[in-house]
Amino acid sequence: DPYANDPRRHPALIPSAEKPYNAEPPVSLLMQDFLTPNDLFFVRNHLPVPNIDPESFNLEIGFENGKMRGLTLDVLKKKLPSKTVATTVQCAGNRRSDMVKIKPVKGLNWGIAAISTAEWTGPTLNSVLRACGVDIDTVDCGHIQFEGLDKGPDGTIYGASIPIELARMLKDDIIVAHQMNGVDIPKDHGYPLRIIIPGVVGARQVKWLGKIVLSKDESTSHWQQRDYKGFNSSIDWHNVDFDSSVAIQFLPVQSAICEPEDGETLDDDEEVTVKGYAWSGGGRGIYRVDVSADGGKTWTSATVEPNGQSPYKSWAWTFWEVTVPIPKEHEGKVELICKACDSQYNVQPDSVEGIWNLRGCLSNAWHRINVQVPK
Ligand code: MTE
Ligand code: MO
């Protein structure tokens, strides 16, 4: 069993798959802390968790046509200036279960908690490359590829890449991280090293980082080329051409209701206090979250808790809260809806129909839950 050495996990995590292990925290715990505790951080593994010896570990950095440098953990931790960034990591498949309701898709049936936030510490990608004599602003390459040390029984390795323009834009906030919330990154999240690329889809933030390659080409990895891309709602598995679409990088604006939970019975029939999270990719902060208890006819804007980051470099989520009146003619149940607006005034689409895609990625329609109201 290639998964026999996988780490022990927190019993509260809700698995969507066991081998490889994938799990999200219960919604009731998601908003307990702004920084998600490491053992409750959602887990998205495609392969067995590798066992890496920190003593012999060497991060390889180079160009396609030859290894240029190897950096030990000691050098990465002690010789280079370190930076800490609080960022939210979201899987492209977060809230996929809402898409499945329209039409089946291929993918893990994530609820609303394939998203978590941590403070990541390590040298910046910029300083790591500079230590190798590479100037990220002038280097002649098209993409920066990242390779994981996790390997499938058939030899498959996990890899991803970002275009060099994206790397330049984010260079001071891309972290070659060795710490997560102040401790060594746990095994499930990439021990001993992981690349953190704020504002970008989880899939590019390669765990168990073993290699950084400056290349003229994108990563040829399955997950860069044949997964984690968007398509229109008429494309299905018979006519899909993965080469016709672009790999997802920045994620769109997202929000979800965590309290009350779907199906819950309220204890009041006049008003309800609604809480949730909101986040957008690309460093876009959250300007507003609106909540409706009458199917979207009327809205109340929530109090959005500042996350301490600029709306133009907002890497972490925000929590919000609002009390809304319950309509008189509720017949024992109401639908609660939330939608967020980010700092580029992007809003979430009102329904899933127009954004449905065969992989169930980018599921960010208005979040709707149903609750029972006491008579
Ligand atoms: N890196 C490696 N090496 N192997 C993986 O399977 N999964 C990716 C990304 N990095 C993955 C990886 C995906 S799809 C996501 S959403 C995030 O890691 C999840 O990070 P987490 O498990 O720390 O929440
Ligand atoms: Mo993911």
189 lines ligand 1 (CB under 6 A): yes
| Nearest residue (CA) to ligand 1, atom 11 | 45
- Residue 353 sits in which domain range? 254-372
> 26 and 166: one domain?
yes
Provide the mean pLDDT of the chain.
97
- Domain membership flag for residue 337: yes
Q: Which of 9, 45, 108, 228 should be mutated for ligand 1, with most atoms under 8 A from CB?
A: 45
> How many other C-beta atoms lie within 10 A of the C-beta of residue 363?
26
150 lines ligand 1 (CB under 6 A): yes
- Domain membership flag for residue 9: no
Task: Decide if pLDDT at 53 tops 90.
Answer: yes
pTM for this one?
0.98
Residue 205 structure tokens = 């933030």
pLDDT of residue 270: 95
CATH code at position 322:
2.60.40.650
Which runs of consecutive H residues, i.e. helices, occur in the chain? 27-30, 73-74, 96-100, 125-131, 164-170, 222-225
| Nearest residue (CA) to ligand 1, atom 17 | 202
Strand partners, 310: none
| Nearest residue (CA) to ligand 1, atom 13 | 203
Task: Decide if pLDDT at 94 tops 80.
Answer: yes
- Domain membership flag for residue 158: yes
Amino acid, res. 248: I
- Domain membership flag for residue 4: no
Q: pLDDT tens digit string along 208-227?
A: 999 999 999 999 999 999 99
Task: Decide if pLDDT at 294 tops 90.
Answer: yes
Report how far residue 244's alpha carbon sits from residue 154's, in angstroms, rounded to the nearest whole number: 27
Residue 303 burial class via C-beta count within 10 angstroms: exposed 0-12, middle 13-18, buried 19 and up: exposed
Cα 45 to ligand 1 centre (Å): 6
Q: pLDDT tens digit string along 97-141?
A: 999 999 999 999 999 999 999 999 999 999 999 999 999 999 999
Which runs of consecutive H residues, i.e. helices, occur in 231-311? none
46 lines ligand 1 (CB under 6 A): yes
44 lines ligand 1 (CB under 6 A): yes
CATH code at position 109:
3.90.420.10
- Domain membership flag for residue 353: yes
Q: pLDDT tens digit string along 320-361?
A: 999 999 999 888 999 999 999 999 999 999 999 999 999 999
> 27 and 98: one domain?
yes
Number of domains in the chain: 2
Task: Decide if pLDDT at 66 tops 90.
Answer: no
